[in-house]
Structure 1
């Protein structure tokens, strides 16, 4: 657990808010063409912007909503759960399944 915490802190050193947590959440949410993920360590607008930028870089025509208040990232028109999750991970965050509605 200590190694995971240190790893998470190192990944988020670029964000000045220093309010990151390391937990992920449960059960995927599905919509017709939308992919939603929960990103517990997305804590501020800066985090949301980095995530949106990473996804739009790979899927420029996608509609991306990253909301730090709800910890949800929703993508319409681009990628599947695994590819969006990989982009969020590459941006330095920890994606997990969104809660079911």
Structure 2
């Protein structure tokens, strides 16, 4: 599982935008977002770089969590 902290994700619109961005690069991914914790979890994907880039291109600032 990949996990990112996305502190500039603040509302339901942000959740939708981040989910859509991840699904564009990894349609098979399972995306779980904890908005109060600013946490994005992605399962079923190996390429963390592609997911991180997709989130950045959607206008957000992800940082990878261990």
Shared fold (TM-score, shorter chain, > 0.5): yes
Contact 1:65/1:75, CA 8 A, preserved across alignment? yes
Report the 3-state secondary structure (helix = DSSP H, G, I; strand = E; otherwise coil) of the residue aligned with 1:61: coil
What is residue 37 of structure 1 aligned with on the other side?
A: 4
Gaps of 5+ in 1: 1-33
Contact 1:59/1:79, CA 8 A, preserved across alignment? no
What is residue 21 of structure 2 aligned with on the other side?
A: 54
Higher relative contact order (CA 8 A, sep 6+): 2
For these two proteins, the number of residue pairs brought into alignment is 66
* TM-score (ref. length: structure 1): 0.61
Shift of 1:42: 0.4
The structure where strand makes up a greater share of residues is 2
Q: 2:14, 2:46 → 1: CA distance? A: 20
RMSD of aligned alpha carbons: 1.2
Could you list the structure 1 runs, at least 4 aligned residues long, displaced by more than 3 angstroms after superposition. none
Q: Any residues of structure 2 matched to 1:58-97 within 5 Å, and which? A: 58-97=25-64
